[in-house]
Structure 1
Amino acid sequence: MTDLVALAVTIKAWGRELGFADIRITDVDLSHREAGFQAWLDKGYHGEMDYMASHGMKRARPAELVPGTVRVITARMPYLPRNGDGDWRGREQVRADDASAAVISIYARGRDYHKVLRARLQQLASRIETETGPFGYRVFTDSAPVMEVALAEKAGLGWRGKHTLLLNREAGSMFFLGELFTDLPLPVDEAVGSHCGQCSACIDICPTQAIVAPYELDARRCISYLTIELKGSIPLELRSLIGNRVYGCDDCQLYCPWNKFAQNTGLPDFDVRHGLDQASLVQLLGWSEDDFSRNTEGSAIRRIGHERWLRNMAVGLGNAASTHKGQAEIVEALRLRAGHPSPIVREHVEWALQQHMQQN
């Protein structure tokens, strides 16, 4: 056991060397989360995300997902770009108020985080193997049926906020999570208490009121779900609430008081690519399929495909109807897409044009 204690300390040091802000270790008992997860599924809050239900309770049972697992090494990695200053929230709020701007979630503006975290967790596993010899493990990051937040919370990386994301007193919530399932019986870390108190900032600010109760999210109303996970038409009653958020939504994080402590990454991987922190809706609607493929290479954005990309831009431009900035340019850009071969794109473009007609 003494060797395992020393190994746990070494693993955490190696993790920091690999760009992780913190590494913690937990056991695999998530039985306390099973009833809540099932109730969430029963309400249909997962929407079209069938993969949330397809594995049953395996999501809450790491040892069933990867037989032999007795511990989970959990890691967090900040993703605010390196060159940012302390007023990132102010800048994002100003941009959100510019109806012509295309607002893309901060996490998606750089390299695909799946690739970054998986590669570095694999490097961590390889270092452990040099110390222990061959051992059983499997690496995950936002993939497979894994309760990332529950594991990270139990390991002491933070607590589950009312918006359902993990919060940390020293780092807010602007970080990715990753896991290394292992058969090494390492010593476990202690959980920390919740520090949300009576605050309801995330609930109050959510544009679509997707946080239906503290710690409970109806994904079907969440802008991240609507712009990324939803494959078909965005419900009419929610389109105007999306505003200019075209890939994900950071509002619940922007207004969370704990994010005044959010940390910048030390990695170039999460630097902004292709000016996605400055792009306009008109500019991005104009991307051809080749443009989209080229400009999203190595990015998490690519997974939604060009059709959903144009759908999202059309909704954003429809919501720009109330602005007096570049109206003619917006309408012309929409008309150029009115004959698109995709019925989904055509539907949302037509809706957007109607918004502008009603304003005039």
Structure 2
Amino acid sequence: MKITLNPALKEQIAAQAQALGFAACGFASAGEDPVRAARLGQWLEEGMHGSMDWMESREHHRRSPQGLWPEARTVIALGMSYAPAFDPLALEGDEERARISVYAQGADYHDIVKKALKHLARWIVEHCAKQGIEAGVKVFVDTAPVMEKPLGEASGIGWQGKHTNMVSRTHGSWLFLGAIYTTLELEPDTMGRNRCGSCDACQTACPTDAFPAPYRLDARRCVSYLTIEHKGPIPEEFREALGNRIYGCDDCLAACPWNKFAAQAQRNRAFLPRAELVAPRLDELLALDDAGFRKLFSGSPIKRIGRDRFVRNCLYAAGNSGNHALVEQVRSLCADPDEAVADAAVWALGRLEEG
């Protein structure tokens, strides 16, 4: 028999979410959305996921929350703000400094968001138990086959902008997303209304033309994909466009006009940037061995790509810098045991010597 829940429960969950550091909370159905599923299928069929094979192998789980957990009835979509207090593009063109995406300059969001999700899920179970209601819950943040952005839009916490990321009227493009799947039957909120209008700022800001059309991303051309997910040498056609970006890219996010409304007061303090990652020196990063890399990026999402891929990225930045003071350091990496690092060093050295 279907249980009719206390209509105040949604408000109580949202209030508890805010107390735990979430800046946005919304509710959506766990059922399959045919349009959302079709878009995912088309994106995968066109190969725009690049080498991210897990996107394709678990498509059946991504199509809907119930594809992953049949007992789910409601999705609680949540967002934590990491709106920067500084211009993310301030270091563009700096010949001595590298650019790390805003989201990776502080603590690993996976740990922070998941901890808060678990606290909220536990509160929901205990709160409902006091009312004689059994609540099943599962928490997800990024690493599971969950379509957080479309579900966020369905829950009303924002909409997927033309850059395919979540946009909020209150928090701009700066939200970490998480989700709680639950067996509770909760009334869905109104779907987020698209407010991009005729604006194409995010499209034109992309340095590698990764958007074949509004609301469509070709990950194979995206700087974030290339510097984080892509293994081996990055195709030469993209190397110059990387500039001094060594981990991720903020350009399309930073270009969004809705960021001017971002409520920085609601930023989670755990995401405040570490001083050594705000404007790191290229020469110091190029000198990292495996132990030094692990020490510097302990507790950071950057650690997952490893020293070799990271130094590879730094070498592309060195090649684009025009900074001849880096020549000898780059030259020494031409014999690096990792083939991608050595290839990047040879490319960077050629650029510096011809410049």
Query: TM-score band, normalised by the shorter chain?
Result: over 0.9
Q: Cα RMSD over matched residues? A: 1.4
Closer/same/farther in 2, CA of residues 140 and 182 from structure 1, 3 Å limit: same
The within-5 A match list for 1:309-324 is 309-321=310-322
Q: CA deviation at 1:274?
A: 4.9
Give 1:71's match in structure 2, choosing from 64, 74, 79: 74
Q: 2:45 matched to 1:36? A: no
Q: Deviations over 1:26-68 (max 9, x none)?
A: 0023222111111111111000000110012320221120120
The within-5 A match list for 1:8-47 is 8-28=10-30, 29-47=32-50
Give 1:327's match in structure 2, choosing from 320, 324, 329: 324
SS in structure 2 opposite 1:139? strand
Mapped partners of 2:238, 2:282: distance in 1: 19
Q: Is the 8 A contact 1:16 1:22 kept in 2?
A: yes
SS in structure 2 opposite 1:176? strand
Alignment partner, residue 114 of structure 2: 118
Q: 2:89 matched to 1:93? A: yes
Which of 53-62 and 153-162 deviates more? Answer: 53-62
Q: CA deviation at 1:100?
A: 2.5
Alignment partner, residue 355 of structure 1: 351
Q: Is the 8 A contact 2:207 2:241 kept in 1?
A: yes
Give the TM-score normalised by the residue count of structure 1: 0.93
Which letter does structure 1 place at the counterpart of 2:54? Y
Q: CA deviation at 1:2?
A: 6.4
Q: Deviations over 1:59-80 (max 9, x none)?
A: 0221120120000000010013
Mapped partners of 1:309, 1:263: distance in 2: 32
Q: CA deviation at 1:8?
A: 1.0
Q: CA deviation at 1:135?
A: 2.4
Q: Deviations over 1:272-318 (max 9, x none)?
A: 22511121222211122111101111111011000101100000001
Q: 2:232 matched to 1:232? A: yes
The within-5 A match list for 1:126-275 is 126-133=122-129, 134-264=134-264, 265-275=266-276
Mapped partners of 1:169, 1:131: distance in 2: 31
SS in structure 1 opposite 2:278? coil
Q: Is the 8 A contact 1:74 1:180 kept in 2?
A: yes
Q: CA deviation at 1:337?
A: 1.9
The within-5 A match list for 1:339-350 is 339-350=335-346
Mapped partners of 1:192, 1:46: distance in 2: 25
- Structure 1 gap segments, 5+ residues each: none
Give 1:7's match in structure 2, choosing from 1, 5, 9: 9
SS in structure 1 opposite 2:279? coil
Which of 136-145 and 306-315 deviates more? Answer: 136-145
Alignment partner, residue 337 of structure 1: 333
Give the TM-score normalised by the residue count of structure 2: 0.94
Q: Deviations over 1:113-145 (max 9, x none)?
A: 011111000000111122112521110011211
Q: Deviations over 1:188-243 (max 9, x none)?
A: 11113111011111111100000110000000000000000001110011101110
Q: 2:104 matched to 1:108? A: yes
Closer/same/farther in 2, CA of residues 285 and 4 from structure 1, 3 Å limit: farther
Which of 125-134 and 297-306 deviates more? Answer: 125-134
Mapped partners of 2:95, 2:162: distance in 1: 28
Which letter does structure 2 place at the counterpart of 1:55? R
Which letter does structure 2 place at the counterpart of 1:69? A
Q: Is the 8 A contact 1:30 1:150 kept in 2?
A: no
Runs of 4+ that moved beyond 6 A = none
Q: Is the 8 A contact 1:34 1:57 kept in 2?
A: no
Mapped partners of 2:344, 2:164: distance in 1: 30
Q: Is the 8 A contact 2:83 2:267 kept in 1?
A: no
Mapped partners of 1:111, 1:229: distance in 2: 20
Mapped partners of 2:167, 2:22: distance in 1: 16
SS in structure 2 opposite 1:212? coil
Q: CA deviation at 1:97?
A: 2.8
Which letter does structure 2 place at the counterpart of 1:74? A
Give 2:54's match in structure 1, choosing from 46, 51, 62: 51
Q: CA deviation at 1:107?
A: 0.3
